[in-house]
Amino acid sequence: MDNKTLSIIHRPFGNGQPYFQQPFERFPRMPRVGEPIMVGAGTVPTHAAETMHVQYRLESESEAHLVDATCIGESDCIGNDPGQRWWMAVLPAVNIATTVYYRFKACTGSDDVYSSWYACSVGKTFKSGRITTWTSYGNDGVVIRCEDLSIQFADNNGKLSISISKENQQYVHYASGSAWQVSELEDSLELKGSCTVVIDKKNLTWRVDRDSATCFSMTKPVEISETFDETGRAFAYVTISARAPAGERYAGFGERYNALDQRGNIILNRVFEQYKNQRLKTYVPMPFFITNRNWGLHVHTERLVEFDMASRAPDQWSMCMETVVGKACRFDFLFGSPQAIRSAFIAHNPQCPPIPEWALGLWMSANDWNSQELVERMAEKTRETDIPATALVIEAWSDETTFYIFNDAEYEVKDTPFTLKDFHFKQDGLWPDPKSMVKRLLAQGIHTVLWQIPVLRSLDNRKHRQHELDKTHAVEHKLVLGTADGSRYTSAPGWFKGSLIPDFTNCDTCEWWLAKRRYLLEEVGIAGFKTDGGEHLWGYGITASDGRMGDRLINAFPQLYL
């Protein structure tokens, strides 16, 4: 057959979807030492390849090895894309820091077809070992060093603040810290303050005691594994493991609807939009939990943290914290009752604005209320049935393109912000008088909220002059997120595919975006916006104007937008 008709598809990082990988990716995308590496590929057309193999070699090797790939499905299997056949091969685990090179070899029955070579780098892994030195920095605590890492312990206004970094990173300054009383024993160091920390000299593990009770006791040394993302940045994953005594409960981790006590679960600190039943996923993650034994923990990060709360091992919990190589991982132990822990956590974190009383009442919402007549009819039903609604969300109000102009409103295209008088609302249209509608709803005690999404939507082949003008302005003024290769980031399939995403780390973007919507707040009189869509920043190669990339933006973006 003609080899030009056979295509081998392999995208190591896929579309960056954080929970579900595609069959033509690498598993895991960012492997670490000791992990087997699976590589997947697709062949087109479906029956062009009879067998598939993978050639691979390590950086230090000149000769390639060969492993067979298994066919895991084709177009006539339910759930697969038409016209493709999927293959999967397993490469042996790599036990040293190196780069693995691999390529696919498809056999057609008459010819062999090869893919390009791909590279996969694996970093070092190391554990905390025997203490080599320790230094007291007064109110900033004690820094303890072993061969590969250093750990700072600070008595920080009643909290135990810990910073773990590779080698000799600069220590953290604590304005409200207190000096430890340090005792050096034969096998351990003992730090006494608002709590007591006992540190094992041979492997830098530690135990935390407070009020004559042990709160935390490590079961193994700190482990750090390094790997690389799609841009070549080096990442470190820092894991600490501790005893999970029988009866210890773990609550928190942000907005979770699966259970109050997360013991037995693996919880990820990662924003994700899971339609309807979220289970262990969440829109609002938080790297913070409390226990029923008078202590809690907070990790200072915007990045991924994996909390294994006695899932893999029933008597042990662990957390694996992501950071870039050269940056420390920081976390606090907080002590006392749940109320005291909550207060301490809130006191040392950015304060949220007070929530208006009406926002705590009953909300009305339906995504098919797409006209003023229907909205007012639904509001009247609540009055007739004595439902004390205080907020009404109108989801289907806009043109579904700009998301700041009422559907079927008439206007002249312009590059400056609109005012209410710029629009003509047809009396027989969907929204003949939105300002009066909002006023009447408010007189009934109902505050109007409009749905929003933070994208500049891709319209495929459809035309919309105002939206095209907005997109041109945003691109020319660098108001959208980019990628490490210099292109503009567009959203992956699943939610407004191909859309540009505003860069809200840029103050100019914030002002431009809000200016487009200001007339809704100040003239129409709405109370605010309901929003989603900020959870689809997939891939670590996304770039923002303030230097943050996708590894941080996936969690930070919704906060920036709000």
Per-residue pLDDT band for 277 (boundaries 50, 70, 90) equals confident
pLDDT band at 3 (very low <50, low <70, confident <90, very high): low
Name the pLDDT band for 4 (thresholds 50, 70, 90): low
Q: Roughly how many angstroms between the first and final C-alpha of the chain, as a whole number?
A: 57
CATH number of 133-347: 2.60.40.1760
Residue-averaged pLDDT of the chain: 92
pLDDT digits (tens, 9 = 90+) for 173-217: 888 889 999 999 999 999 999 999 999 999 999 999 999 899 999
DSSP track, 433-453? -HHHHHHHHHHTT-EEEEEE-
DSSP collapsed to 3 states, 355-389: CCHHHHCEEEEECCCCCHHHHHHHHHHHHHCCCCE
Alpha carbons 187 and 360: distance in angstroms, whole number: 55
Segment 247-259 shows an average pLDDT of: 95
What lies within 8 Å, CB to CB, of 241 at 6+ separation is 218, 219, 220, 316, 317, 318
Domain borders along the chain are 3-122, 133-347, 357-561
Q: What pLDDT digit, counting tens, does each position of 233-245 carry?
A: 999 999 999 999 9
Cα distance between residue 337 and residue 293, in whole Å: 8
How far does Cα 483 stand from its chain's mean position?
A: 17
Q: Measured between alpha carbons, how far is 382 from 471 in angstroms, rounded to an integer?
A: 40
237, 126 contact by CB (below 8 A) = no
Q: Are strands 362-366 and 389-394 parallel, antiparallel or unpaired?
A: parallel
What is the phi-psi region of residue 89: left when phi exceeds 0, alpha when psi lies from -120 to 50, beta otherwise? Answer: beta
Under the banding of pLDDT at 50, 70 and 90, the label for residue 346 is: confident
Looking at domain 3-122, its CATH superfamily turns out to be Immunoglobulins (2.60.40.10)
pLDDT at 206: 97
Contact 340, 255 (CB under 8 A): no
Q: What is the 3-state secondary structure (H, E, C) of 519-555?
A: HHHHHHCCCEEEECCCCCCCCCCEECCCCCEHHHHHH
Per-residue pLDDT for 275 more than 80? no
Give yes or no on whether 3-122 and 357-561 have one common fold: no
Q: What percent of the chain has pLDDT over 70?
A: 96
Angle of CA points 127, 288, 297, to nearest 5°: 55
Res. 1: pLDDT tops 50: no
Mean pLDDT of 318-339: 95
Which tokens belong to 65? 């090895």
pLDDT tens digits, 66-92: 999 999 876 555 555 556 789 999 999
Domain 357-561's class?
alpha beta
